[in-house]
């Protein structure tokens, strides 16, 4: 009998997660004997559920809304990018039984933008809408691409200002409210608010997107999200959603756990074909 290594994604709600499907395809593609399930875990049950998972032989976990900050506190040791982002989406048990925490969201986004969509980030002026967990996770990996500057705009202005202050040492970064964006223009606008989940977008001034600028919504859905539609209406060169990021962050987690990089392009193609059918 083959014993399968156990992996899971914890979240609340988790029913519609695509992660089990993605990791099953990665495992088949790379001939890895593993199982990956989705488990409903409310925040108040997080540490008990994680203790139980690892003490029963679990090898690695993904954590999603609303558990990433709790996973950050849970991890015994953290990668630099996880340390900075104060949110962890990947936990891995080490040989000595300690738990490593990483955040693969930012590298997932950067890989999707650059490798899958052929974009160059170097020298770009970037606007990030939102100052929550996702925003925090993508700032350092974006700075690593030698961008010119990042502006963070958020409904709660103090959160944008504080986040910008925290990442000052990484590059040219400012925080503000949506109303303070004025006549600035950006090469890339990333929606890291959760507004798309309710079919809305933050209040944005006209002419915010530079000529040949690109829009990217971290959220994804079977229909174009409200922000993807905003990008199209504002003549974005490309207006993309976060499905590619989802697959890329999963591939990075798979690499952390198994030491093998799965091929992401066929998985993205498959998931795209399914939602267009
Ligand atoms: P958080 O709850 O941590 O942050 C939510 C952000 O949205 C805050 O900045 C909040 O502003 C803002 N916001 C919420 N409602 C409104 C509103 N009505 N008007 C304006 N701003 C609003 O969420 P996350 O950062 O974890 O997630 C953000 C998005 O990113 C989600 O859609 C999530 O699904 C997506 N995501 C996608 C991933 C992928 O792999 N594709 C990975 C990670 C996240 P305020 O501070 O004022 O409350």
Q: Which domain holds residue 15?
A: 5-103+244-276
* DSSP assignment of 155-167: SSHHHHHHHHHHT
> CA dihedral defined by 149, 152, 153, 155, rounded to 10 degrees?
180
Residue nearest to atom 13 of ligand 1 (CA): 193
Closest alpha carbon to 68 in 38, 29, 101, 32: 101
Both 11 and 69 in a single domain? yes
Task: Please indicate whether residue 159 is annotated as part of the active site.
Answer: no
Closest alpha carbon to 189 in 143, 222, 238: 238
Both 86 and 35 in a single domain? yes
User: Rounded mean pLDDT of 99-128?
Assistant: 98
User: Rounded mean pLDDT of 133-151?
Assistant: 96
Both 91 and 136 in a single domain? no
Domain of 200, CATH number, reads 3.40.50.720
Domain of 270, CATH number, reads 3.40.50.10860
Compute the distance from residue 127 Cα to the ligand 1 centre, in Å: 15
The CA-atom distances, in angstroms, between 141 and each of 45, 103, 110, 113, 239 are 31, 10, 7, 12, 21
Out of 68, 78, 86, 159, pick the active-site residue. Answer: 68
Both 187 and 214 in a single domain? yes
Both 232 and 111 in a single domain? yes
pLDDT of 273 over the 90 cut? yes
- How far, in Å, CA of 138 to CA of 133, rounded? 9
pLDDT digits (tens, 9 = 90+) for 150-201: 999 999 999 999 999 999 999 999 999 999 999 999 999 999 999 988 999 9
Both 127 and 49 in a single domain? no
The CA-atom distances, in angstroms, between 190 and each of 84, 95, 139, 166, 219 are 19, 38, 11, 19, 10
Residue nearest to atom 43 of ligand 1 (CA): 134
Residue of 109, 193, 204 to mutate, ligand 1, most atoms within 8 A of C-beta: 193
Residue nearest to atom 6 of ligand 1 (CA): 193
Both 60 and 156 in a single domain? no
Pairing state between β 149-153 and 5-11: unpaired
How high is the mean pLDDT of the chain?
A: 96
Residue nearest to atom 39 of ligand 1 (CA): 246
pLDDT of 1 over the 80 cut? no
User: Rounded mean pLDDT of 27-50?
Assistant: 98
pLDDT digits (tens, 9 = 90+) for 91-106: 999 999 999 999 999 9
- How far, in Å, CA of 88 to CA of 185, rounded? 32
User: Rounded mean pLDDT of 36-47?
Assistant: 98
Both 134 and 86 in a single domain? no
Residue of 158, 192, 240, 251 to mutate, ligand 1, most atoms within 8 A of C-beta: 192
Count the domains in the chain.
Answer: 2
Residue nearest to atom 17 of ligand 1 (CA): 195
Compute the distance from residue 190 Cα to the ligand 1 centre, in Å: 11
Both 147 and 192 in a single domain? yes
Compute the distance from residue 112 Cα to the ligand 1 centre, in Å: 19
Both 256 and 173 in a single domain? no
Both 185 and 97 in a single domain? no
Question: What is the residue whose two structure tokens read 């090898």?
Answer: 59
In sequence order, the β-bridge partners of residue 62 are: 9, 90
pLDDT digits (tens, 9 = 90+) for 226-263: 999 999 999 999 999 999 999 999 999 999 999 999 99
As a whole-number percent, the residues of the chain with pLDDT over 90 amount to: 95
Phi and psi at residue 101, to the nearest 5°? -110, 135
Both 148 and 259 in a single domain? no
User: Rounded mean pLDDT of 62-74?
Assistant: 96
Could you identify the atom of ligand 1 that is nearest to the CA of residue 131? Answer: 9
Ligand 1, CB cutoff 6 Å, lining residues: 65, 105, 108, 130-135, 154-156, 159, 192-197, 200, 202, 218-220, 242, 245-246, 249
């Amino acid at each position: 009998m083959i014993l399968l290594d156990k992996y899971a994604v914890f979240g609340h709600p988790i029913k519609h997660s695509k992660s089990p499907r993605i990791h099953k395809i990665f495992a088949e593609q790379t001939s890895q004997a593993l199982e990956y399930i989705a488990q409903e875990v409310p925040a108040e049950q997080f540490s008990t559920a994680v203790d139980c998972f690892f003490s029963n032989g679990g090898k690695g976990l993904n954590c999603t809304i609303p558990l990433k900050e709790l996973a950050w506190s849970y991890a015994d040791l953290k990668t630099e990018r996880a340390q900075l982002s104060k949110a962890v989406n990947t936990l891995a048990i080490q040989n000595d039984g300690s738990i490593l925490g990483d955040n693969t969201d930012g590298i997932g986004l950067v890989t999707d933008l650059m490798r899958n969509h052929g974009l160059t980030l170097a020298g770009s002026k970037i606007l990030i809408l939102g100052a929550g967990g996702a925003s925090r996770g993508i700032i350092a990996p974006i700075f690593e691409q030698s961008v010119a500057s990042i502006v963070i705009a958020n409904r709660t202005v103090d959160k944008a200002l504080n986040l910008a202050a925290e990442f000052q040492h990484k590059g040219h970064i400012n925080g503000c409210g949506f109303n303070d964006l004025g006549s600035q223009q950006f090469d890339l606008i990333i929606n890291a608010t959760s507004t798309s989940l309710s079919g809305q977008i933050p209040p944005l001034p006209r002419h915010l997107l530079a000529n040949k600028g690109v829009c990217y919504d971290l959220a994804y859905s079977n229909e174009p999200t409200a922000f993807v539609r905003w990008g199209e209406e504002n003549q974005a060169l490309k207006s993309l959603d976060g499905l590619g990021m989802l697959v890329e962050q999963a591939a990075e987690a798979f690499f952390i756990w198994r030491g093998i990089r799965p091929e992401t392009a066929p998985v993205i193609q498959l998931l795209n074909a399914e939602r267009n059918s």
